[in-house]
Chains A and B, each alone.
Chain A
Amino acid sequence: MTNGIAKTGLAARPKFFRFDKFFWHKILWFVSNTGQPLLRKGVGVSVISVQNLRKTYGKIEALRGVSLQVEPKQIYGLLGQNGAGKSTMIKILLGIVNKTDGEATLLGEEAGNANVRKRVGYLPEDHQFPAYHTGRSLMHFYGELYGLSRPERTKRMNEAFDIVGIAKRADNKVKTYSKGMKQRLGIAQSFFHDPEVIFLDEPTDGVDPVGRKEIRDLLGTLRDEGRTIFVNSHLLAEVQLMADRVAVIHKGELMREGTVDELTRQTDRFELGLAPGQTFPTKELGDLGYSLKIADGLAQVVLNDGQGIDPVLEFLWQRGLKLRHLVEVKQSLEGMFVDIVEKENRDIPKAARKARKMESREEYE
């Protein structure tokens, strides 16, 4: 990250047909199993597929029948409050916790499968690296578990250290690292072994604003190299800036899912500006049934059911008013999220809400 966002160089090459000592074995295997390797690697199928996934911890329902699909080569953001079930879903996909019910596959294989874990990177929330390791020895340890040879480990970890900007501290003990440095190390260990999917749970936690931008750029680069990145976060602005698709999870249920554009678009709200010196005919438009709010010389027109913006534009033109500014107002991801949470809380009867609050508190604790 310190040298700008160059290609990470780890996944630019085709993975399966990489020319290595197993090249001819793979060719023979491919010929005798036409098509299967690509399917197994997730080409043409969802990288992550979750159907009606449920997880209970005792009496607490952490996930209540969540279904979603994540396609390859995208940054997928999972939003939710603390205790919404975001981390639980990742842990089920990675085999860290066992699901209670439902289907979950990762790269076309049953979630938690040990083989598939080789092709996955993960940065947990509140991770704790063994304090007795240096950054370098930790990467050697993890690299050995991924089956990387020593020269391969050394080459890849040096690249990764450069990318995340901790190369100078790589030989210091992890216990001497700041929180931000630990986070950078965590990100480095999540991608240095060349995974196809990377799960990041609150990746920008504890990182300064400059570092956050560097992380965002890095994730973009990793996505452009063909990796799928699954990000859990409650920092909505961060997700909005980096994610291709977003899902909102609230108290174990999937509330919304789509691209950032789809989720933030509002079809009932426009912002209008007139030429200097002209004033909005607020009263007249009100009489026509439109509600207007004026702020900083711009008018926000809220359309009611069945109304369109065209009658307003026509009315202004007829009055000789010159339009200089017209924008369909988009809601921020944060606004959308807050709306969902508030609506959910409104829709739930008071008693049930109280019960859920209790559950949520227990879950959080």
Chain B
Amino acid sequence: MRNFIAVLKDSFREAVDGFLIWLMLILSALAIIAIASFGFEKESAETSFRRITSEFNKAFLKRGSDGREIGTRIKVANQEMTTPIVLPFEANNVQKTDGSSGVSGTYTMRITVNKPLEKKSANPWDRVVSSLLTVDNFRMLLASWAAEKPEEREYIVKIPKFNTDTPSDKPDEKMTIPKPEAVPEGMTAAEFIASKNDTGYQSFTMPDVKPESMKKVDTETMIAFLKQQFLLHGGIDDVDVTRVNSVAEPQYQFDVTARVKGIPTGWSYNSSVFFGSMPFGSPNRPIGQVIIGVQDNIVNTLGASIIFVVSVILTAFFIPNMLRKGAVDLLIVKPISRWQILLYKYIGGCTFVFLVISFTIFGVWAVMWLRSGVMNSAFLLSIPILTFTFMVLYAVSMLISVLTRSAIAAIVITCLFMFFMWGVGLAKSICDISRNLPESPLKTGVAFNTTVDILNAGLPRYNDVMKLNSRLMGQDVLTPAELKRSDRLIYPSWGEALGISFAWIVGLYLLSYWRFATRDP
């Protein structure tokens, strides 16, 4: 243990001796200050509740317990994409009744569910789907939501072509909307498409609720649904709902009393940068989206890439310096084994980067907490995750250092390896899209797909770990609906992503040790 601490302290001393560490800390401090300039302004209760209720048409099957959304589902690149049923929910006359200040308190409002307006959408898919919907979309949605086994039907349709010259907000009158064909009983969608001898077909699934099922939807179901939606889209779990019976169907009205504690995850915010001088992102968004936007997209993606490159440069000198003629002899003759020298030096480099990452992540986390009032503890998990990712890179750097004794070679090859891993991850995504979406403009051949699959299976999972980290980061700040939606995406398992990366670390260390132990200095 004493040897370990000694080598650790030596690595730290080496790191702080150069200017790069100070450059890195200054960059981190500047990043923290820049993030401290973010402003978060809470929207009014009315705006927030109106935004929350506008999301209520995005419902999940089996009373919200299923991760799949109700609507038109098509499979794209192994991921199920859902277009929710068009159904306007509106919150009106929002009032705070307990006279308290701040977000916490009791609110009353009336929610109106209207019949969708007859409007031709610019999106041909919307027009395909609209042609299959009933008049009372609310009852259809609730029947699907409450059913143990949802009534659905598969259709196929010749994919409508988008006219790129038409503005996206105006329907193209000349566009031909193809008629969807229901997949016959006893046949799968794939078989039905195959029978058409035309690759231009796409299958999709739609709720197919029978009229008797719609009639079974009672007031109790409606109230339960709304309570569920408040929880999913607003993060508000203490809600009383009463139906206003005087309104004629297919319009529905409900009086709602919501008791809010703290700041719910669905509450709307307006965000800005540079201390309010410039708006950041679209207004009226749940705070979780803004926080994840900063912590995941800016810090965890762009920031982490910069930290990795600088850390690789900074630590690449540790092992070649140790292996210099005249320096390595002084270490080898001490009562410490070579495997320990190499392992401790490796851990020393990783520990140093761990400290830098901790400083940056903790700083960003703290200023975001202070500025927004939302403490996203999961963001702190980026510290071990980013350090682990760096450990893979540093293991590559260690091997190159032992083989070549050149810090420059270690830097260049490690950075190339990092970009290669990232490139393979990107290529894997492109291949998946190409394989699953016939109309995708990205066309990849079988040989390319196979090569990418093999490389992706064998390489450390740089992209996968980052992807999993992103999901983890949203746990405390995103609304349950946003989390459910992200859970529907295909994620690699932690075991696979970390296991393969760890196997690489062990393998690279063993190779490095073998070379270090057998080569005469």
Contacts and interface: CB of A to CB of B under 8 A. Distances in A.
Interface in B68-125: none
A165 to B, nearest CB: 21
Contacts of B521: 96-97
Interface stretch (A31-39, A128-136, A223-231): A128-136
B336 interface: yes
Nearest to A137: B13
Interface string A73-111: 000000000000000000100111110000000000000
A128 B324 contact: yes
Contact of A132 (B3, B17, B332, B337): B17
B503 to A, nearest CB: 29
B325 to A, nearest CB: 7
Given A126-B326, A128-B326, A146 B334 contact: yes
Interface stretch (A115-123, A253-261, A341-349): A115-123
A145 B520 contact: no
Interface string A139-174: 001101111000000000000000000000000000
Nearest to A115: B335
A114 interface: yes
B337 A114 contact: yes
A54 B332 CA distance: 21
A77 B10 CA distance: 34
Contacts, number: 79
A97 B325 CA distance: 13
B329 A132 contact: no
Contacts of B9: 141, 144
B407 to A, nearest CB: 14
A124 B335 contact: no
A141 B14 contact: no
Contact of B333 (A120, A132, A137, A147): A120
Residue from B9, B329, B333 with most neighbouring chain A CB atoms (10 Å): B333
Contacts of B330: 122, 124, 127, 129, 142, 189
Contact of B335 (A127, A132, A146, A189): A146
A125 B321 CA distance: 17
B489 interface: no
Give the interface size bracket for B toward A. Answer: 20 to 34
A132 B334 contact: no
B5 interface: yes
B333 A144 contact: no
B2 to A, nearest CB: 6
Nearest to A125: B326
Give the interface size bracket for A toward B. Answer: 20 to 34
A145 B334 contact: yes
B6 A96 contact: no
Interface string B333-355: 11111000000000000000000
Interface in B304-346: 321, 324-327, 329-337
A57 interface: yes
Contacts of A95: 332-333
Contacts of B326: 124-128
Interface string B1-30: 011011001100110010000000000000
Contact of A126 (B6, B321, B325): B325
A127 B324 CA distance: 9
Given A91-B329, A122-B329, A132-B13, A145 B335 contact: yes
A131 B325 CA distance: 14
B55 to A, nearest CB: 57
Contacts of A120: 333
4 A-B pairs with least C-beta separation: A132-B17, A144-B6, A128-B326, A97-B520
7 contacts: A95-B332, A129-B327, A130-B327, A133-B10, A141-B6, A141-B10, A142-B330
Given A120-B333, A133-B13, A141-B10, 16 more contacts: A94-B332, A95-B333, A96-B332, A96-B333, A117-B335, A118-B335, A122-B330, A122-B333, A124-B329, A125-B326, A127-B330, A128-B326, A141-B9, A144-B2, A144-B3, A145-B3
